Chain A
Amino acid sequence: MLEVRDLHASISDIEILKGVYLTVKAGEMHAIMGPNGSGKSTLAYVLAGKTNYKVTSGQALLDGQDLLGMLPEFRARAGLFLSFQSPLEIAGVRLDQFLRAGYNAIRKSRDEEEMDVLKFNRFLTTKLEMVELDESFTRRNVNEGFSGGERKRNEILQMAVLEPKLAILDEPDSGLDVDAVRTTAEGINQLRTPDNAVVLITHYQRILNYVVPDVVHIFINGRIVKTGGKELAEEVEAEGYDRFETAARASEPGT
């Protein structure tokens, strides 16, 4: 489903991604773990099409389509979803209005009929329960006055509404207490199908107690340095990233 090959990207001429290889198949759940500042979020942003990053070389294909040549909205319409680490407030725009606009934009791009307000709100209600958000949230401005946990669950709500093929979740657990992590994780689990895939980016192993990954990648200094099963996450939990960092430095070209 997702094929990333030798991806290099920089911001203000500083290289952040230094040759990322990643293959994700339908039905899979991948965890990308790494220390702060390793470039995990950059990978998410670059795949979603944020413009202030410059891709200097490499490829990223979603079901064979070249993602890197597409505008962010076309990536979304092609089935890519990014859950933001720090979801932003949108002044004066209600959540239901925001979600319907995105949902209909995606439907329209597939030549499907747009959904009217009433129908959409009924559809939205069915998704709310999953993330334990009250209906009143949909009538509030996007993320305005939402707690950290509510913002994260709101991201999962958006994923539930937009039904992407590939969801990249950028630290859906950061800043949350253990109950909120569990709620968020349950939401993610419910959205998994044999036809979609999830790439979950996290610093901590904690959320992986609830969301079980098929594959775990260790991300250090702009690259995936090790790939394994879920036992790799337990290793990180027990020993931290030091060992991986040392190994990564040793294997870097020129050292």
Chain B
Amino acid sequence: MTQRPPTQTPTQEAAYLEAYESLRNNGYAHDPDWAQTLRADAIAKFKEMGFPIARRGNEEWKYTDIRSIATTPFHLPDSPATLDLSDRRLRSVALGRLDWNRLAFVDGVYSERLSSLQSLPEGVRVVNLAEAMRSSSDIVQEYLARYADCQANPFVALNTAFMHDGALVSIPDGAVVEEPIHLLFISTGKQETVSNPRVLLVTGKDSSATVIESYATLAQGRYFTNSVTEVLPGPGAALRYYKVQQQSDKAFHITNTRVVMPRDASFSSVNIDLGGRLTRNNLDVLITGEGASVNLTGLYMPTGVQHVDNQVIVDHAVGHTTARELYKGILNGKSRSVFHGSIIVREKAVKVDAIQEDKNLLLSDGAEADTKPAFWIYCDDVKCAHGAACGQIDEDVLFYLRSRGLSDTAARHLLVQGFVADIIESIRYEPLRVKIDALVKARLARWLGAEEAA
């Protein structure tokens, strides 16, 4: 029997370079020089690195194979965002809420029509990034693309080369924003389109705000979202940041979130992944100020052949800082999850208090979770702990519940809900907590059958 050599599908870097050239001369031509320079440097970097497709010696992408992203000829959507949606439809993609201050994007392009900004306190800016770039706002010039690393990460480089529309959220010193600021990224689901959403969050000294970044789709297409979010809280600021991903189950979703924490700042994030064929979240937190604390929470619920990968790095450059990390996965079908957590404690970073944990509940025999929480500690005077677990529903506990009259299905629901209870509770903003709880329960009902079933 003769074997044909495997046909190598070419990767598509050249198509991106071409698209970049075309935009440089057209769509981006009126942007200021500094922005042009950032993009030019980024595309050069991307050209140099290419997609990280190697299957050997590629530790960073060991468990997540992105060849299908690299070889698909994704293109930028050609028509501008003239999409209109009924209130009902908009509400369903906007986490059920039309009353939040909302900046909306369709396939990565800002949509004024679907946005709604009403009750922002004085000095709070929530604007399309492209507009802020054109007006060369100080904040944008100072912070944009200064933190997310193009040097080693081709997806960040790619996003930066195409950064245009996106969100700038800037909160002045001392401002307390009660209502959440919602950044809504809607995909139309058009086949083989790519978008590069970009978000810049800069909050002032001692300010307080809640930001929700959510991704939703109108159709189950095969498209690619490559987002980058830079988060820069001020000293003493409190920022609650929620990311809710409900992409098409054929879509590719890559996110890079970079957070830099100054003195006494607190950052809590909750990252919910429900959609996507392949999802990779890089969350990279650098703590540079004493007294700063981060609380990073995540929930992923893949099913079918979904693959979700969370890479979380917390780098304690200074001491007297705190990190709490809790990620949980509920896996169904033949899905796969990856969790890599790295907590780094630098030399002289004394009195760091860090805990990281990843727990997985496998609801099917075909699902698989890879979990690797790790510490890199270069200082003695620290308090660190980590844990990881993968398991199925405990049959003995299930029997305990059934012996009290609960049906098998109701008992499973209760156990899974118990498993995620602490994640749901970590969503401090109640209307969002209620919504996420409902989404989780609805997903479980599809997997386990209706809760009420006898």
Contacts and interface: CB of A to CB of B under 8 A. Distances in A.
Interface of A: 48-52, 71-73, 75-77, 81-82, 84, 87-93, 97-99, 101-103, 105-106, 108-109, 141, 158, 162
A189 to B, nearest CB: 22
A101 B410 contact: yes
B378 interface: no
Given A71-B408, A92-B420, A109-B454, A98 B414 contact: yes
27 contacts: A48-B403, A49-B403, A52-B395, A72-B402, A73-B406, A73-B411, A77-B405, A89-B397, A90-B415, A91-B418, A92-B418, A92-B419, A92-B420, A92-B421, A93-B414, A93-B418, A93-B421, A97-B414, A98-B401, A99-B404, A102-B401, A102-B404, A102-B405, A102-B406, A106-B405, A109-B454, A162-B404
A102 B419 CA distance: 19
Given A73-B402, A141-B418, A90 B397 contact: yes
Contact of A105 (B396, B407, B415, B418): B407
A103 B404 CA distance: 8
Nearest to B420: A92
A109 B421 CA distance: 28
Contacts of A93: 414-415, 417-418, 421
A158 B421 CA distance: 23
B422 interface: yes
Nearest to A86: B396
B34 interface: no
B429 interface: no
A207 B407 CA distance: 33
Q: List the 5 closest A-B pairs by CB distance, nearest first.
A: A92-B418, A102-B404, A92-B421, A93-B418, A76-B405
Contact of B417 (A81, A92, A102, A109): A92
By CB atoms of chain B within 10 A, which of A77, A92, A102, A158 has the most?
A92
Interface in B176-201: none
B399 interface: yes
B400 interface: yes
A158 B400 CA distance: 12
A155 to B, nearest CB: 10
B88 to A, nearest CB: 31
B400 A88 contact: yes
A109 B405 CA distance: 9
Interface of B: 394-397, 399-408, 410-411, 414-415, 417-422, 454
A82 B403 contact: yes
Contacts of A77: 405
Given A90-B415, A101-B404, 15 more contacts: A50-B399, A51-B399, A73-B408, A76-B404, A90-B414, A92-B421, A93-B415, A93-B417, A97-B414, A98-B404, A99-B404, A101-B406, A105-B404, A158-B404, A162-B405
Contacts of B401: 90, 98, 101-102
Contacts of A90: 397, 400-401, 414-415, 418
Contacts of A109: 405, 454
Nearest to B419: A92
A93 B422 CA distance: 10
Nearest to A93: B418
Nearest to B407: A73
A48 B399 CA distance: 9
By CB atoms of chain A within 10 A, which of B396, B401, B415, B454 has the most?
B401
A108 B410 CA distance: 13
Nearest to B399: A50
A223 B411 CA distance: 33
Nearest to A83: B403
A72 B399 contact: yes
Nearest to A105: B405
Nearest to B404: A102
A91 B419 contact: yes
Contacts of B421: 91-93
A172 B195 CA distance: 63
Contacts of A92: 417-422
Contacts of B396: 88
Contacts of A162: 404-405
B128 to A, nearest CB: 41
A81 B402 CA distance: 11
Contacts of A98: 401, 404, 414
A72 B401 CA distance: 9
Contacts of A84: 400
Contacts of B419: 91-92
B448 to A, nearest CB: 15
B403 A72 contact: yes
Given A90-B397, A105-B407, A76 B417 contact: no
A91 B415 CA distance: 8
A105 B414 CA distance: 13
Nearest to A52: B395
Contacts of A141: 418
Contacts of B414: 90, 93, 97-98, 101
A106 B454 CA distance: 10
A162 B406 CA distance: 12
A82 B400 CA distance: 9
Contacts of B405: 73, 76-77, 102-103, 105-106, 109, 162
A93 B425 CA distance: 13
A51 B401 CA distance: 13
